[in-house]
Every structure is written in structure tokens, then in C-alpha cells.
């Protein structure tokens, strides 16, 4: 049974940092491209970042470039998102999601972890 | 970036009725790169339709997708109570990939 379990969310002050994790099981994690996608309150889904199966190719949305860092540890079947210089507009539920490769839809999603940036 | 506009915002129908959800793109999207997702309350999103019209594994055949160019449609032929959810379209034809705002489907 495929599972993506996100963790690490919470309340953080503006300018602070947080590290999200996503633990994968039930599939060969190292074969899949992974992304972080977020949904702010009352807004639609927004793609945040992408990492290839090997970790060699990484992309970021302009809104988080220079502040967020995506990484993965295939030995631990885990995906990470290091979020620095957090802003109120980063408040959202963050989902991890998998896809076979670029140009394919997301076949599995995690349940989401809530990040709240507020003083 | 390509903006996807979904309508209506909320759809309230009785069980057995047909639900028609629209996704309109601000620029042409190749059908190969248009997907629909379902997110039930408290659950992770689930892939429903890919390639604009292909059902993902395990998706009931009451769900169907159609469309091309800038206009795409998700149809639920006969609404079931378990179909209560948010539905999102996504394009990954042009970077950055984008999603629609979602349509909420309710049971009347």
C-alpha cells in the first residue's frame, strides 16, 4: 500500500525556518520524481518545488526561490523541504506528491502538513 | 503562466444527477498534459483523470474527462454520496505547472 506521510509543520514566526519531511512507503521511492505542492487558506493548489528521482534536477517556483531547498534521501525513502525566511504568505498546507517523470501527473499524494507563519 | 479557471465554484446536486465541472485555460494546453484530481475531506488528493480523458487505476467509470485546447470537462454521470469532494484540474504542459482553484461538489 502506497503511503506518503508528511510531517514537520507547525507555527513559526515571520523570518523563521522549518523543515518538512515526507516518508514514503509501498513503492520504489528512488524511481519517482517528487514535488512539494501547497494550498494557502482559500486559495488553489500551487506547485512549490520538484526534484528528480536521483536528485540531480531541481526546480522551484519563483515565489520560494532562494528561500526553500528541496532534497531527498533515497536510502531513507524520504523527501525534505527546508524553508527559510518564512513569510505570512507561506502559510499553507504542504503536500508531497510523486510522479513517474516530468510530464506525467501526480500518481500519489501525502495527506498534507500545515505550516502557519504568524507573529 | 497558464491560468486555469474552474467553474462553478460549488456544485450542489442530488444523488443520481449528472455533474459537469469545467476547467478553462488561459492558453492552449495539450490534452496529454491535463489531469483532474479529487480531494475528499480529510484525505490526500487522488488522481482521477490523466491525458484529459483517461481514467486512473481504480476510478469508477461514472467519472469521465473530455475536452481539448483551452476547454476541458470532468463529468460524473450519476452522482454518488461518496463523490462529495473538491475537484482540481492541473496542466503540466507549460512550466510552471498550474492548478485550478477547484470545484466543490456537494450533495443536495
pLDDT of residue A103: 87
Query: Which residues 39-68 of A are in CB contact (within 8 Å) with B?
Result: 43-47, 59, 61-62
Q: Do A106 and B33 touch (CB under 8 A)?
A: no
pLDDT of residue B41: 87
pLDDT of residue B1: 94
> Which of B56, B97, B101 has its CB closest to that of A44?
B101
Q: Do B45 and A107 touch (CB under 8 A)?
A: no
Q: Do A105 and B99 touch (CB under 8 A)?
A: no
Distance (Å) from the alpha carbon of A60 to chain B's nearest alpha carbon:
9
pLDDT of residue B104: 97
pLDDT in tens, A1-33: 999 999 999 999 999 999 999 999 999 999 999
pLDDT of residue B83: 97
- Residue pair B37/B55 in contact (Cβ under 8 Å)? The answer is no
Q: Do B47 and A46 touch (CB under 8 A)?
A: no
- Residue pair A105/A16 in contact (Cβ under 8 Å)? The answer is no
pLDDT in tens, A91-119: 999 999 999 988 899 999 999 999 999 99
Partners of B89 in the β-ladder: B36
> Which of A59, A105, A112 has its CB closest to that of B90?
A105
Q: Do A47 and B96 touch (CB under 8 A)?
A: yes
The residue in chain B having the minimum alpha-carbon distance to the alpha carbon of residue A111 is B44
pLDDT of residue A87: 98
Reply yes or no on whether the pLDDT at B100 is more than 90: yes
Residue B42: pLDDT band with limits 50, 70, 90: confident
The residue in chain B having the minimum alpha-carbon distance to the alpha carbon of residue A42 is B101
What is the CB neighbour count within 10 angstroms for residue B23?
Answer: 28
Tell me how far apart the alpha carbons of residues A80 and B56 are, in angstroms, rounded to a whole number.
27
β-pairing verdict for A106-109 and B63-76: unpaired
pLDDT of residue B18: 98
Residues of A in contact with B43 (CB under 8 A): 111
The residue in chain A having the minimum alpha-carbon distance to the alpha carbon of residue B95 is A61
> Is the previous residue joined to A110 through a cis bond, with omega within 30 degrees of 0?
no
Average pLDDT estimate for B45-55:
96
pLDDT in tens, A28-73: 999 999 999 999 998 999 999 999 999 999 999 999 999 999 999 9
Q: What is the grid cell recorded at A94? A: 504542504
Residue B13: pLDDT band with limits 50, 70, 90: very high
Residue B97: pLDDT band with limits 50, 70, 90: very high
Tell me how far apart the alpha carbons of residues A49 and B57 are, in angstroms, rounded to a whole number.
26
A112 shares contact with chain B (CB less than 8 Å): yes
Distance (Å) from the alpha carbon of A18 to chain B's nearest alpha carbon:
22
- Residue pair A19/A80 in contact (Cβ under 8 Å)? The answer is yes
Q: Which residues are CB-contacts of B14 (< 8 A; sequence separation ≥ 6)? A: B79, B107, B108
Residues of B in contact with A107 (CB under 8 A): 47, 56
Q: What percent of chain B has pLDDT over 70?
A: 100
pLDDT in tens, B59-87: 999 999 999 999 999 999 999 999 999 99
DSSP string, chain A: --EEEEE--EEE-TT--EEEEEEEESS-GGGSEEEEEEE-TTS-EEEEEEE-SSS--EEE-TTTTTTEEEEEETTTTEEEEEE-S--GGG-EEEEEEEESSTTS-EEEE---EEEEE--
Amino acid at each position: 500500500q502506497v503511503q506518503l506521510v508528511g510531517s514537520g509543520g507547525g507555527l513559526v514566526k515571520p523570518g523563521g525556518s522549518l523543515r518538512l519531511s515526507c516518508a514514503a512507503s509501498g513503492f520504489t521511492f528512488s524511481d519517482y520524481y517528487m514535488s512539494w505542492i501547497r494550498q494557502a487558506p482559500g486559495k488553489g493548489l500551487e506547485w512549490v518545488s520538484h526534484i528528480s528521482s536521483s536528485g540531480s534536477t531541481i526546480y522551484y517556483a519563483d515565489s520560494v526561490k532562494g528561500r526553500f531547498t528541496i532534497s531527498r534521501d533515497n536510502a531513507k525513502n524520504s523527501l525534505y523541504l527546508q524553508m527559510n525566511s518564512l513569510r505570512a504568505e507561506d502559510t499553507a498546507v504542504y503536500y508531497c506528491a510523486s510522479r513517474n517523470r516530468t510530464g506525467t501527473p501526480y500518481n500519489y499524494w501525502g495527506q498534507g502538513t500545515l505550516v502557519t507563519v504568524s507573529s | 503562466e497558464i491560468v486555469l479557471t474552474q467553474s462553478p465554484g460549488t456544485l450542489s446536486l442530488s444523488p443520481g444527477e449528472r455533474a459537469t465541472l469545467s476547467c478553462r485555460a488561459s492558453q492552449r494546453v495539450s490534452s496529454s498534459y491535463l489531469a483532474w484530481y479529487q480531494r475528499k475531506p480529510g484525505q490526500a488528493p487522488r488522481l482521477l483523470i490523466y491525458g484529459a480523458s483517461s481514467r486512473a487505476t481504480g476510478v469508477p467509470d461514472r467519472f469521465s474527462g473530455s475536452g481539448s485546447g483551452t476547454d476541458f470537462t470532468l463529468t460524473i454521470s450519476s452522482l454518488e454520496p461518496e463523490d462529495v469532494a473538491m475537484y482540481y484540474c492541473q496542466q503540466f504542459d507549460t512550466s510552471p505547472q498550474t492548478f485550478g482553484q477547484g470545484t466543490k461538489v456537494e450533495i443536495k
